[in-house]
Amino acid sequence: MNTKRAIRIILLAVVITGFFFTGCTKKQETNQPAKSVTITLGAYTVPKEAYQKEIIPAFKKMWKEKTGQDVEFRESYVASGAQSRSIVGGFDADIAALSLEDDITRLVTSGLITHDWKSKKFNGFITRSTVAMVYRPGNPKNVKSWEDLTSDKIDVLYPSPRTSGGAMWIVNAIYGAGLKISEAKTGKQDPAFAAKLLEKIQRRVKVMDESGRASVTTFENGIGDILLTYENEAILRQLQGKEFPFLVPDATILIENPVALVDKYVNKHGNREVVEAFIEFLYSKEAQRSFANFGFRPVDEEVLKEFQNKYPVPSMLFDIQYIGGWETVRNSLYGPEGAWTKAIDTIGRGK
């Protein structure tokens, strides 16, 4: 073998060896977990404090201890309906934590969620609440029931159902309360009575903001006599040291708030493991207690028992199925011929 040929063979061997070791190194690097991972959370406004003050910090700590990996959160908190439409429009949230099931259904219909999100624990719901009435200190208008809100001496606040999931829960509560009240009086549900109660209360609505949180702010600014809102919003204000008296009417709706992994964006980001872990964490007793601390009714029955004195059960409590379920309500209340739509049209025409 001549010298030149020997040199060529040696150089070729070095190159091949270099490729081999480089490939091994890259493979090893690929198998190493990233030092940090990001979760994008698209939520409605109301649970912001629970997430930011307790739940997200607790999950970060848990995940760091378990994997050695830091978790960063991109967070967005807007009205539930607006958040749902934003996600459909391209906001790449890994998790949709919204006010109502219908807003999750929009993501399913759009092809963003492809798994059966309702097969999760508690049918995919992570918190519960009720619709409550916040009144001015001392209850100067002596409000005790839904029918009191029909008085021409009372100004009512609640947000717009066109943008706010909370507002839809409120409208559902009023209409369902009308069915409950008529049932208690006559032995059967009277949809006409329920629709009329809804129209009468709608006539007394002074301002309709875009979100439940904005509606609370309007009330705090001195507008209105009665604020219809989530029970947890009222409790949160009390926790902040504010004078925010409220009552939960005997007939009110059980609010259930869903969460779901958004498959399309999780696949895009490649972070399914940590996203699934965070959603699972939301059902943990630690997270459920955090939600309860911030005014939400836990879905975990054991945790709920710990807070039973804080969250008594109203005597005529009903759920969304009592008024037909979301598929029915979408038309019977909010469709072109729906009770709320008709009430708005009638009032708008000055009748």
Whether residue 343 sits in one domain with residue 240: yes
AA letter at 154 = I
Whether residue 102 sits in one domain with residue 179: no
Reading the chain (351 residues) residue by residue, the pLDDT tens digits are 454 444 344 333 433 333 333 333 333 344 556 789 999 999 998 899 999 999 999 999 999 999 999 999 999 999 888 999 999 999 999 999 999 999 999 999 999 999 999 998 899 999 999 999 999 999 999 999 999 999 999 999 999 999 888 899 999 999 999 999 999 999 999 999 999 999 999 999 999 998 888 999 999 999 999 999 999 999 999 999 999 999 999 999 999 999 999 999 999 999 999 999 999 999 999 999 999 999 999 999 999 999 999 999 999 999 999 999 999 999 999 999 999 999 999 998 887
Whether residue 234 sits in one domain with residue 342: yes
Whether 305 and 315 have beta carbons less than 8 Å apart is answered as: no
Phi, psi angles (nearest 5°) of residue 107: -70, -35
- Full residue range of the structural domain in which residue 97 is found: 36-127+257-306
Whether 70 and 64 have beta carbons less than 8 Å apart is answered as: yes
For the chain, helix (H) and strand (E) counts, in that order, are: 15, 10
Looking up residue 74, the CATH number of its domain turns out to be: 3.40.190.10
Cα 319 to the center of its chain, rounded Å:
16
Dihedral angle, C-alpha 81, 117, 310, 320, nearest 10 °: 60
Whether residue 323 sits in one domain with residue 177: yes
Whether residue 323 sits in one domain with residue 180: yes
Write the DSSP symbol of residue 286: H
Whether 329 and 179 have beta carbons less than 8 Å apart is answered as: no
- Torsion sign (Cα): 127, 128, 131, 134: negative
Residues 6 or more apart from 17 whose CB is under 8 A from it? none
Whether 37 and 94 have beta carbons less than 8 Å apart is answered as: no
pTM value is: 0.84
- Count: domains in the chain: 2
Structure confidence by residue, pLDDT tens digits, 55-80 = 999 999 999 999 999 999 999 999 88
Whether residue 215 sits in one domain with residue 325: yes
Give a yes or no: residue 150 inside a domain: yes
Whether residue 230 sits in one domain with residue 123: no
